Amino acid sequence: MKTRLDTDTVVVGLGAMGSQTLWRLARDGVDAIGVERFAPGHDRGSSHGESRIIRTAYLEGAEYVPFVRAAWRAWDELQEAAQARLVIRSGALMLGRPDSAAVDGSTLAAREHGLACTRLVARELAERHPRHLMRPDEVGVFEEDAGVVLPEPAILAAVRLAREAGARVLTQRAVTRIEPDADHPRVWVGDTEIRARRVVVTAGAWMPRLLPGLADLGGGIRVERRVLGWFPITAPPTHTAGPEPVFARDEPDGTLWYGFPSMDGGRTLKIGVHAESAEVRTAERPRPGAQWGEPVDPDLGPRPPDADDAARLGALAAGLRGVGPLPERMVACMYTMTPDEHFLIGHHDALPGLVLAGGFSGHGFKFASAVGVALADLARDGHTELPIGMFDPHRWDTDGPRRP
């Protein structure tokens, strides 16, 4: 039997971005419905695996810094409202050769925005951060305004607060169709039709499939597999100056990998590969265990981790002192990559009545708090004061982005 629901705004997908959007809308008194195909905080999208890095001196581009600052403020608001600790300030260490993206990119962002970062040469790194086995020509950049965001608790907190503020939440229900329309966009959840003034689409890896035309944006959105591994800590760090920082390390061949302080009282620590070397990226055939380019059908989910993944991550873990070579456990996750690896946030002319946020290219979680504010602004008022111009989904149009 067909059912019809009416509301002001529907949020499709309650992962990192959608959960925060729903909370912001409900908190501001907007009548809103959130729809999630699984249970919030699940492990089948892009937001599971215990921890995400947040850092301010943004190596992906100095132009992100104002948005990260907005995210820090919005995380504080969420923590305050939820009365929960969702962000741990551990500091961050960017490691590599002086001209590597990790070191050079974060240094440039720090310089441009006057951020407090400390440059450390190999000898200083050995003294202060002995976990890392460094080559003599490598350096580090330490930043205090960085740390760990807890993804599953953050999503659960935002959904709980949204409910408490009056949002309706449909879980274990998939949106099967969205009909864009400037005045009356519609969302179908099986036989249930939801009519709204605005629809916010935050469906992560499913987004290119759910929104016609989106998959081809800028030459193609790709969903890729990545694997995280938890390695046993065999010896504690020899320094005692507070928690170990999160880190990202740029290898001489261009592999960019990262890791976290132990989240289980010093038993294990987690590492992952963000980008493989240029050689692997351009190889005709994927190398065993390579964490790059393996396409994923989100309905089937990423291929489970295997021995090749363990060997690939284990080879990187050899760069950490006091860490065993075999992962105790691994999980697979999905990156939704845009061609320029910058996000998609905003309106798209071909999708009237819709606001979208996706293509977070493996570095979006830290911004989820600010994305929630921006999407709620866009849904409610049609515009936002937050600096999201660089994420305009129209940026690949031949006549350039639609808005400044």
Ligand X SMILES: Cc1cc2nc3c(=O)[nH]c(=O)nc-3n(C[C@H](O)[C@H](O)[C@H](O)COP(=O)(O)OP(=O)(O)OC[C@H]3O[C@@H](n4cnc5c(N)ncnc54)[C@H](O)[C@@H]3O)c2cc1C
Using CB atoms, what's the residue nearest to ligand X?
15
Q: Should residue 228 be labelled a site residue for ligand X when binding is judged by CB under 6 A? A: yes
CB 147 within 8 A of CB 91: yes
Question: Which span (6-14, 119-127, 157-165, 307-315) binds ligand X, by CB under 6 A?
Answer: 6-14
Is the CB of 129 or the CB of 366 nearer to ligand X?
A: 366
Task: Output the CA angle 129-130-136, nearest 5 degrees.
Answer: 95
Measured from the CB of residue 320, what is the shortest distance to ligand X in angstroms? Answer: 17
Measured from the CB of residue 136, what is the shortest distance to ligand X in angstroms? Answer: 28
Is the CB of 123 or the CB of 300 nearer to ligand X?
A: 300
Q: Should residue 36 be labelled a site residue for ligand X when binding is judged by CB under 6 A? A: yes
Task: Output the CA angle 216-217-219, nearest 5 degrees.
Answer: 70
The helix (H) or strand (E) run that includes residue 71 is: helix 65-82
Measured from the CB of residue 284, what is the shortest distance to ligand X in angstroms? Answer: 25
Phi, psi of 334, rounded to the nearest 5 degrees = -115, 135
x/- mask, ligand X, residues 81-120, rule CB under 6 A, reads: ----------------------------------------
Under DSSP, the state recorded for 50 is S
Measured from the CB of residue 360, what is the shortest distance to ligand X in angstroms? Answer: 3
Measured from the CB of residue 35, what is the shortest distance to ligand X in angstroms? Answer: 5
**Binding residues for ligand X restricted to 263-302, rule: CB under 6 A:** 272
Q: Which of 204, 252, 258, 199 is nearest to 228 (CA)?
A: 258
Size of the site for ligand X (CB under 6 A): 37
Measured from the CB of residue 73, what is the shortest distance to ligand X in angstroms? Answer: 16
Q: Should residue 188 be labelled a site residue for ligand X when binding is judged by CB under 6 A? A: no
CB 246 within 8 A of CB 258: yes
Q: Should residue 37 be labelled a site residue for ligand X when binding is judged by CB under 6 A? A: yes
Residue 213 burial by Cβ neighbours in a 10 Å radius (0-12, 13-18, 19+): exposed
Q: Should residue 45 be labelled a site residue for ligand X when binding is judged by CB under 6 A? A: yes
**Binding residues for ligand X restricted to 350-369, rule: CB under 6 A:** 358, 360, 362-366
C-alpha 384/C-alpha 344 separation (Å) is 15
**Token representation of residue 347:** 């309106």
Measured from the CB of residue 38, what is the shortest distance to ligand X in angstroms? Answer: 5
| Strand 52-55 versus strand 146-149 pairing type | antiparallel
What is the DSSP annotation of 114-155?
T--EEEEEHHHHHHH-TTB---TT-EEEEESSEEEE-HHHHH
Is the CB of 13 or the CB of 185 nearer to ligand X?
A: 13
Q: Which residues lie near ligand X (CB under 6 A)? A: 12-18, 35-38, 45-47, 49, 52-53, 174-175, 202-204, 206, 210, 226, 228, 272, 333-335, 358, 360, 362-366
